[in-house]
Structure 1
Amino acid sequence: MQVVEPNPRKARVNIRAYIWFAVLIVVGLIVAFNGFATVQYGNVGLYKTFGKLNDNILSPGIHMKIPFVQSIIQVNVQVTKAETDTSASSKDLQPVSTHVAVNYSVDKAAAYKLMNNVGGSFDSVIVNPAIQEIVKEVTARYPAEDLIAKRDIVAGEVREHLTTRLAKYNLIVADINIVNFKFSDAFNQSIEAKQVAQQQALKAENDLKRVQIEAKQKVAQAQADAESLKLKKQEVTPELIQLKQIEVQEMAVDKWDGRLPSVTGGATPFIDVNSLAGGSGSSRAVSVPGTSSEDQSAADDAAAATADGSNSSNSSSK
């Protein structure tokens, strides 16, 4: 039986063929993967061929490109925040440090112009310098106190100027926020002292108003008392006076115990017997022993008043 020996040359050819086949597969895979690119959401793409930009705007998704010749750069068109610290002076020459946050975005349709004219670092080249310049310009128009009290107006003016400035570079300003105004310690102390003075002045004004109101209340109370007294005087009639006299005389009789005083001298009260009896005519005073001088005086006065009243009544009847 004849044995066939393997041909070493033929074996080497087969190995080389396998190697070349594997290399072609790898190269094909590399070329295939390099012929596609993905644009992420929130971005637009631009073809870059040998360093030159193409003005064709690519939307998010998968796009074909020439392998090893073209590349796709992505431009973020979402709202982006730029924060900047600015040092400026107010209208009254107070040093002011301002922290500003600006929300802006890239105009999709003008992404090619922005990247071709400015480049990818437009935030540091365009946005931040524009913010600082405009904030300094607007801050210099207001006194330091107005920067605090009119923050919304100041922010609106900064937004208006910044929108006009960035529109030249196809950047859209969405919103602006003045995060903080920082002043010198001396100015802060003066503001605090002014606020304290205003509070004290307000307290003094309130105290003055309170005193004025209390004075008006007292005047009103005095007028009311005077009016009440006037009405009471109008209510006093001769019949009321006569009734009071009778009450005084009855009180004097109630106090007499029926005994004559053991010591003579001093005043002895008199009681109008006719008045008590309801009779008419002249008054007749009766001395009531055992009564004091004060009661006697009151009784005398009552008797005299009764007599006068009776005379007046008789005169009227006549």
Structure 2
Amino acid sequence: MKNQYSQNWQTLVAGILAALVLLIGLNSFIIITPGQAGVISILGKAQDGGLLEGIHIKPPLISVVDVYDLTVQKFEVPAQSSTKDLQDLSARFAINFRLDPIKVVEVRRKQGTLENIVSKIIAPQTQESFKIAAARRTVEEAITKRNELKEDFDTALGERLDKYGIIVLDTSVVDLAFSPEFSRAVEEKQIAEQRAQRAVYVAQEAEQEAQAEINRAQGKAEAQRLLAETLKAQGGALVLQKEAIEAWRQGGSQMPKVLVTGGNSNSSIPFLFNLGNLQDTSAPQ
């Protein structure tokens, strides 16, 4: 009985020891996957040298490994500023960034979590960078030279975040808004420009119409001049006869009441008589 009790106790102790060995073994290494970096802390103190992808040995039970995502992170950050001409300007930036694996230990010591990095580093530095870019130009230049505004912002933000171990990959302006007063001024200016352009168009249209009238009048006068010269020249009577025949045809080929004919072949003055009068005189009384 006593031997059986001793054997059971030894089995229990062996099981506990095996469990402890397994637990210690599992806590003696850490696997860092691609796109991650780890920072090992022993008794609460971060150790130099970040842990990159692979298997790493660490002291069991007394160490903790904080793993950071090194892939591209995206956050939208609002910012407000005043322009060179003291107009209020607000924007929202979409910022793509990632952590520098070489400086991940410094990030762990100074900023801690990714949430702290965004709220305590990226957001205020975005605000300051936007102030620098906006203060260099007027509000109209911020509209017409938006690319230059973004370039100044990118330069200022990249320089400020680099010292924190944050690499800025790209930024984009999600929204750019102005004060209500400036928006109304822009709208009124656009309306005035549209009205001015409409007035210019109407003036040009009137000028073109007037020129067309002049051209038509000149053309008509030139035609009359040429006709007069033709009538004065030899053969003018033939022209009048031709005009009479054309008028006759256009009237439906009916006998006109007024017939134009030459007195003789050598006469330059046409002879006109009214056939209607002849018909009236020939009718029985």
Do they fold alike, i.e. is TM over 0.5? yes
Normalised by the length of structure 2, the TM-score is: 0.76
Q: How many residues align?
A: 253
Matched, 1:99 2:92: yes
User: Residues 223 and 20 from structure 1, CA distance in 2 versus in 1: closer, same or farther, beyond 3 angstroms?
Assistant: same
Matched, 1:145 2:140: yes
Corresponding residue for residue 174 of structure 1: 169
Corresponding residue for residue 164 of structure 1: 159
RMSD between superposed Cα atoms in Å: 3.1
Q: Output aligned runs, 1:28-47, within 5 Å.
A: 28-47=21-40
C-alpha separation in 1, matches of 2:215 and 2:266? 49
Amino acid across the alignment from 2:48: D
Corresponding residue for residue 194 of structure 2: 199
| Regions of 4+ moved over 6 Å | 244-247
Amino acid across the alignment from 1:132: Q
Q: Secondary structure at the match of 2:234?
A: helix
Shift, 1:52, TM fit = 3.1
- Unmatched tracts of structure 2, length 5 or more: 243-255, 268-273, 279-285
C-alpha separation in 2, matches of 1:49 and 1:110? 19
C-alpha separation in 2, matches of 1:174 and 1:206? 49
Q: Output aligned runs, 1:1-318, within 5 Å.
A: 8-120=1-113, 121-243=116-238, 276=264
C-alpha separation in 1, matches of 2:12 and 2:97? 55
C-alpha separation in 1, matches of 2:86 and 2:64? 53
Shift, 1:130, TM fit = 0.9
Q: Deviation string for 1:236-280 (max 9, x for gaps)?
A: 245334557999xxxxxx98xxxxxxxxxxxxxxx99xx55x799
Q: Secondary structure at the match of 2:195?
A: helix
Report if the CA contact (8 A) 2:89-2:178 is conserved. yes
C-alpha separation in 2, matches of 1:112 and 1:157? 30
Q: Secondary structure at the match of 1:41?
A: coil
C-alpha separation in 2, matches of 1:34 and 1:215? 96
Q: Deviation string for 1:86-142 (max 9, x for gaps)?
A: 232222222223222221112223323433454443333322111111112222232
Amino acid across the alignment from 1:196: I
Give the number of the structure with larger relative contact order, counting CA–CA contacts within 8 Å between residues 6 or more apart.
Answer: 2
Name whichever of 29-38 and 48-57 sits farther off: 48-57
Report if the CA contact (8 A) 2:91-2:173 is conserved. yes
C-alpha separation in 2, matches of 1:279 and 1:101? 98
User: Residues 210 and 243 from structure 1, CA distance in 2 versus in 1: closer, same or farther, beyond 3 angstroms?
Assistant: closer
How many percent of aligned residue pairs carry the same amino acid? 28
Shift, 1:159, TM fit = 0.5
Normalised by the length of structure 1, the TM-score is: 0.69
Report if the CA contact (8 A) 1:82-1:128 is conserved. no
C-alpha separation in 1, matches of 2:132 and 2:22? 58
C-alpha separation in 2, matches of 1:174 and 1:99? 17
